[in-house]
């Protein structure tokens, strides 16, 4: 493979995440290029991001119409009631529509192979199998129960565009993204970047998005593209609180409003929360329910306990689980 490129776009609120992402990419793919589209970083943040040998910071703030861009977005959304005030949702939708514009600009700067990451998504393991696989564009499907719930509400939500794999040359990549942008410009649906990509694929090959690891060929302007689907739970896991295998999962997607917290501390906090949850399950139901009633364990572990105490608590809880496992094994012989 001649090139490995990654791209993201975000502002100062996402800095801790994109900074951590850059460090992860340097560890796993030290020869890659990481294009970061600057939607409003502070100068100190820019200086830090520029200091990494793999990063290319692209100034994009002035190219976004922050004041009036939302007027391009329809006032009504088909099949969906926005959770926000309509004006707020239109402003959000305008920003969503600018994501593929940045991706297209990045595609023009490279020769091949581009991995798209949300500002709060980052690698926790290598993804060599992606580069070795035979497809042109890889998209990530949400958990099936989530897709089904959305379908009952009349919402198309098969894909999560936090992670997209483009494994093709720049010219064909641009052709695909340009069609995606055209579909966005005529869309009346919410979450316009995601729903437009879903429409683009399903209109040409409906059954591709029905299951993980499906493959299919779609055509745009008589050019064929091999599409393959991947599970979000491996390539873009966002249901972190449910637990995950940190050797199997490749990419985490931290969907959180707590943008300023330390990433390592948050992940460590989540792991400790999961450990304590296991301990609570061991306890008698009456005692467990009383503890849960007294305090919100999740909030306590992730957000209240001071970071310097997390490692100590983690060691204690893991030792307890190890002891419990040995005890259960020993009891089998009595």
Question: What digits encode the pLDDT tens for the residues 166-192?
Answer: 999 999 999 999 999 999 998 888 888
For the residues 200-213, what does the mean pLDDT come to?
93
Give residue-wise pLDDT tens across range 41-79. Answer: 999 999 999 999 999 999 999 999 999 998 888 765 665
For the residues 88-117, what does the mean pLDDT come to?
94
For the residues 250-270, what does the mean pLDDT come to?
65
Alpha helices in 30-127 (DSSP H): 43-50, 86-109
- Over 60: is that where the pLDDT of 158 sits? yes
Alpha helices in 51-153 (DSSP H): 86-109, 128-132, 144-152
- Over 50: is that where the pLDDT of 295 sits? no
Which of the pair, 147 or 105, is modelled with greater confidence?
Answer: 105
Class of domain 5-253: alpha beta
Least confident residue range of 50-64, 97-111, 254-268:
254-268
pLDDT at 187: 87
Distances (CA, A) of 259 to 8, 17, 246, 304: 16, 8, 22, 16
**298 within 8 A of 276, measured Cβ to Cβ:** no
DSSP string, 290-323: HHHHH--HHHIIIIIS-HHHHHHHHHHHHHHHHH
Which of the pair, 24 or 326, is modelled with greater confidence?
Answer: 24
Which of the pair, 304 or 239, is modelled with greater confidence?
Answer: 239
pLDDT at 257: 45
Which of the pair, 22 or 296, is modelled with greater confidence?
Answer: 22
pLDDT at 270: 57
Which band of pLDDT confidence, cut at 50, 70 and 90, is reported for residue 101?
Answer: very high
- Over 50: is that where the pLDDT of 194 sits? yes
User: Among 276, 281, 322, 325, which residue's Cα sits nearest to residue 299?
Assistant: 276
Which band of pLDDT confidence, cut at 50, 70 and 90, is reported for residue 88?
Answer: confident
User: Among 115, 96, 110, 112, which residue's Cα sits nearest to residue 8?
Assistant: 115
Buried b (16+ CB within 10 A) or exposed e, 174-189: bbbbebbbebbeebeb
In the chain, % of residues over pLDDT 70: 74
For the residues 22-36, what does the mean pLDDT come to?
96
- Over 80: is that where the pLDDT of 321 sits? no
Which of the pair, 52 or 299, is modelled with greater confidence?
Answer: 52
* Neighbouring C-beta atoms of residue 77, cutoff 10 Å: 21
Q: Mean pLDDT, the chain, as a whole number?
A: 83
**257 within 8 A of 245, measured Cβ to Cβ:** no
Which band of pLDDT confidence, cut at 50, 70 and 90, is reported for residue 82?
Answer: low
Which of the pair, 140 or 243, is modelled with greater confidence?
Answer: 140
């Amino acid at each position: 493979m001649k090139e490995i490129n990654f791209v993201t776009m975000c502002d100062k609120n996402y800095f801790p995440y994109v900074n951590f992402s850059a460090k992860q990419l340097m560890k796993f793919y030290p020869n890659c290029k990481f294009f970061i589209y600057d939607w409003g970083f502070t100068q100190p943040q820019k200086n830090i991001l520029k200091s990494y040998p793999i990063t290319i910071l692209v100034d994009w703030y002035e190219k976004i119409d922050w004041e009036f861009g939302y007027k391009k977005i329809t006032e009504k959304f088909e099949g969906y009631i926005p959770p926000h005030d309509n004006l707020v949702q239109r402003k959000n939708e305008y920003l969503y529509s600018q994501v593929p514009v940045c991706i297209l600009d990045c595609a023009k700067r490279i020769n091949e192979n581009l991995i798209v990451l949300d500002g709060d998504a980052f690698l926790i393991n290598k993804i060599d199998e992606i580069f070795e696989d035979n497809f042109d564009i890889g998209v990530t499907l949400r958990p099936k129960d989530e897709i089904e719930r959305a379908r009952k509400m009349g919402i198309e939500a098969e894909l999560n565009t936090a992670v997209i794999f483009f494994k093709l040359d720049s010219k064909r990549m641009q052709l695909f993204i340009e069609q995606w942008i055209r579909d966005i410009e005529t869309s009346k649906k919410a979450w316009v970047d995601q729903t437009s990509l879903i429409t683009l694929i399903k209109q040409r090959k409906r059954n591709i998005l029905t299951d993980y690891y499906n493959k299919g060929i779609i055509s745009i302007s008589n050019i064929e593209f091999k599409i393959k689907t991947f599970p979000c739970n491996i390539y873009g896991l966002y249901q972190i609180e449910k637990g995950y295998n940190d050797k199997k999962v490749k990419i985490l997607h931290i969907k959180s409003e707590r943008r300023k917290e330390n990433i390592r501390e948050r992940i460590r906090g989540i792991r400790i929360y999961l450990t304590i949850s296991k301990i609570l399950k061991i306890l008698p139901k009456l005692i467990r329910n009383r503890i849960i009633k007294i305090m919100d364990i999740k909030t306590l572990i992730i957000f209240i306990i001071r970071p310097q105490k997390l490692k100590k608590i983690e060691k204690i809880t893991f030792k307890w689980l190890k002891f419990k496992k040995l005890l259960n094994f020993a009891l089998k012989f009595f």
